[in-house]
């Protein structure tokens, strides 16, 4: 998506350790106009799919997922990161290793908000090694719901996540795929 690629070129900052900072328009300050254009693009890409619910993970996926849910006219559920392992039978649970914080979180979704009748579109801001998505897919599987697709704002194509997800035969639509980025020159190229 040209608009998003141009914005990443203009305002994205490449940090050591393969981290792309997009704090000025996605991860801290949020450009809702941009999110709205992204949502319209996913609506086009997933046209014809019967989506009943959007699923994301806190915190950084929530803004994008909320605007996307508005476009699809469905509710959005976010998986919660829980500090203490609370073995509550009313929750679906999984473990996710955070790429940015390098720690493992227990993640939960209440059984009240996800059921076998649901057709899910998963939305997140970044795809790196795919741990966050694997966790969300596990939760959907536990619920017996159907994954209709995954929408990602920025995929880092040089990390393994995208390949792993596509190998599973899931429709994955990343609006910008970074081919390479250099923390010394700041150069970013797209696929
Ligand atoms: P994964 O689980 O695919 O390795 O990483 C995805 C999660 O880590 C995303 O939900 C996102 O919050 C975070 N993340 C991964 N890479 C980056 C990055 O380069 N920049 C930012 N801001 N977040 C990232």
Torsion of CA 153, 45, 138, 50, to 10 degrees: 140
Q: What is the pLDDT of residue 83?
A: 64
Query: Dmax over Cα atoms in the chain, in whole Å?
Result: 50
CA of 61 to the centre of ligand 1 (A): 10
Determine contact, residues 153/178, Cβ cutoff 8 Å.
no
Q: Which CATH architecture has domain 35-180?
A: 3-Layer(aba) Sandwich (3.40)
All structural domains of the chain with their residue ranges: 35-180
Q: What is the pTM of this model?
A: 0.96
Candidate of 100, 152, 155 to mutate for ligand 1, largest count of ligand atoms within 8 Å of Cβ: 100
C-alpha distances in angstroms, 88 versus 29, 83, 84, 104, 115?
A: 34, 14, 11, 19, 17
Residue 141, pLDDT > 80, answer yes
Give the residue whose CA is nearest to atom 4 of ligand 1.
129
Q: What is the pLDDT of residue 100?
A: 78
Residue 88, pLDDT > 80, answer no
Q: What digits encode the pLDDT tens for the residues 17-66?
A: 999 999 999 999 999 999 999 999 999 999 999 999 999 999 999 999 99
As for ligand 1, residues whose beta carbon falls within 6 Å of it are: 19-22, 27, 60, 99-100, 124-132, 156, 161
Report the atom number in ligand 1 closest to the C-alpha of 57. Answer: 10
Report which of 30, 44, 31 is spatially closest to residue 1, judged by C-alpha positions.
44
The percent of residues in the chain predicted with pLDDT above 90, rounded, is 91
C-alpha distances in angstroms, 55 versus 24, 80, 85, 146, 158?
A: 24, 11, 21, 12, 25
CA of 103 to the centre of ligand 1 (A): 13
Q: What is the pLDDT of residue 161?
A: 97
Q: What digits encode the pLDDT tens for the residues 166-184?
A: 999 999 999 999 999 999 9
CA of 100 to the centre of ligand 1 (A): 6
């Amino acid at each position: 998506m040209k608009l998003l690629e141009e914005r990443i070129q203009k305002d994205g900052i490449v940090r050591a350790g393969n981290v792309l900072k997009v704090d000025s328009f996605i991860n801290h300050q949020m450009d809702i106009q941009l999110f709205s254009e992204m949502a319209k693009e996913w609506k086009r890409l997933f046209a014809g799919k019967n989506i009943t619910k959007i699923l994301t993970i806190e915190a950084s996926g929530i803004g994008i997922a909320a605007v996307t849910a508005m476009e699809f006219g469905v509710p959005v559920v976010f998986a919660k990161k829980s500090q203490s392992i609370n073995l509550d039978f009313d929750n679906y649970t999984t473990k996710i290793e955070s790429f940015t914080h390098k720690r493992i979180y227990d993640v939960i979704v209440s059984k009240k908000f996800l059921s076998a009748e649901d057709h899910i579109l998963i939305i997140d801001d970044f795809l790196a090694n795919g741990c966050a998505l694997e966790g969300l897919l596990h939760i959907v599987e536990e619920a017996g719901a159907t994954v209709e697709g995954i929408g990602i704002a920025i995929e880092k194509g040089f990390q393994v996540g995208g390949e792993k997800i596509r190998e599973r035969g899931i429709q994955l639509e990343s609006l910008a795929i970074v081919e390479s980025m250099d923390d010394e020159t700041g150069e970013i190229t797209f696929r």
